[in-house]
Structure 1
Amino acid sequence: ANRGCAEAFAAVYACEVPVVAAVRGFCLGGGIGLVGNADAIVASEDAVFGLPELDRGALGAATHLARLVPQHLMRTLYYTSRTVTAAELLAHGSVWRVVPGGRLMAAALELAGEIAAKDGHLLRLAKAALNGIDPVDVQRSYRFEQGFTFEANLAGTAARVRDTFGKEARP
């Protein structure tokens, strides 16, 4: 599962052309890994984003959440397993547009069409250039995070936390 997640996230990031993500409803855990590696995000008004990993005995995708929100908000969301709305991500500049659910695909395809209208060779060079100047190597960083999930599993912590998930009321 860890390898599959890493490979899926890497495929989005390494795609030689820009990837536009269309998000409706819950975008949690692995969804954050996918949209955090996308080049642009269009979301429906009901979209919520977050990492419930700590509540489920796991770690990971903070690398990708950090691409969507500022550092301290990312840490708060990660430690609390809380979510943020598409409107909040729009305010942070992470989401290109928030639209009614019925307009989601049209809005995403409109943006993708605008991007795809550019010269293909130049667009591929632009994607490679932007990935090349990224301040964080998302593949290495995510694999580093996964090591801590492995450690939590070996220690029995992950199973203990998973067993209590949903049984305790939050403060």
Structure 2
Amino acid sequence: MTITSTLHPRGVRTVTMDYPPVNALPVAGWFDVAAAMREATADAETRVVILRAEGRGFNAGVDIKEMQRIEGFSGILGANRGCYEAFKAIYECAVPVIAAVNGFCLGGGIGLVGNSDVIVASDDATFGVPEVDRGALGAATHLARLVPQHLLRSLYFTSRTVTAQRLAEFGSVDAVVPRADLDATALALAEEIAAKDPRVIRAAKEALNGIDPIDVNRSYRFEQGFTFELNLAGVADQHRDAFVATGENLTT
């Protein structure tokens, strides 16, 4: 169970999440994603990053089972801080980040892709934020970068998912391909970007972040405040305990 970062020829770095069975990341995993993105920023040889995953799906959010095993609030505090750091590091990575999404992308996974620069997805990929069903809030900031406002609210209140094909219609997903072609598609796009002058690309990334209408770091931190309130009120624990008791396969 790891986060690995590998620099390939022509300046393409892949960061791979591999936490069976569903890539629900423990606290350490989120901080490891952040560290990998900071490594990419610091490495002058890195020209573009592909964020990808092994296994059934791209990301199923935080590991609720780990959180419920930890006494007190340190589990939820660690997960929230780890998610914040991972999302922030992707957004602030000095080079473009391409998210290659296979299967499901849920909860914290939306934070990862929403702060990425480009998204490519397999034709079986689905995206959603089931936080309401877990007694928590978060990642609406990032879902808002993928869908129009009223659809955002519908998806958020109902915990429904949206397909990669529909996101492609909105222009949020750059390409939808068979799963067998996902890595090759992401690599081809990465190599196209990597062929550009890296000085210009790094400047372009900073410039695009500078003209964003929303401060994503501050916006997400605001959302997290409500998650803390729900935890202090005991609401979130009730929902997380119920989730663990059901033994559901997807953890968010």
Higher normalized contact order (CA 8 Å, seq sep 6+, divided by chain length): 1
Determine which of 33, 37, 43 is the counterpart of 2:121: 43
Deviations 1:113-170 (A, max 9, x none): 1111111001011000000000110001101100000000111111233344597xxx
Distance 2:117 2:223 in 1: 22
1:83 aligns with 2:161: yes
Determine which of 212, 218, 225 is the counterpart of 1:134: 212
Alignment partner, residue 115 of structure 1: 193
Distance 1:140 1:61 in 2: 12
1:149 aligns with 2:227: yes
Distance 1:139 1:110 in 2: 30
Q: CA RMSD in A?
A: 1.2
SS at match of 2:213: coil
Distance 2:153 2:239 in 1: 19
SS at match of 2:232: helix
Distance 2:145 2:105 in 1: 14
SS at match of 1:91: helix
SS at match of 2:99: strand
- Extract unaligned runs of 5+ from structure 1: none
Distance 1:134 1:118 in 2: 23
Aligned length: 167
Alignment partner, residue 102 of structure 2: 24
SS at match of 1:59: coil
1:67 aligns with 2:145: yes
Distance 1:162 1:101 in 2: 32
Alignment partner, residue 34 of structure 2: none
Distance 2:179 2:107 in 1: 21
- Matched letter for residue 31 of structure 1: G
- Matched letter for residue 160 of structure 2: R
Distance 2:144 2:116 in 1: 13
Cα distance, 1:15 vs. partner? 0.4
Alignment partner, residue 87 of structure 2: 9
SS at match of 1:84: strand
Deviations 1:69-120 (A, max 9, x none): 0111111101100000000100111000000000000000111111111110
TM-score, normalised to structure 1, is 0.95
Q: Which structure carries more helix by proportion? A: 1
Distance 2:147 2:153 in 1: 10
TM-score, normalised to structure 2, is 0.65
- Matched letter for residue 89 of structure 2: A
Distance 2:241 2:87 in 1: 28
Distance 2:180 2:239 in 1: 38
SS at match of 1:42: strand
- Matched letter for residue 79 of structure 1: F
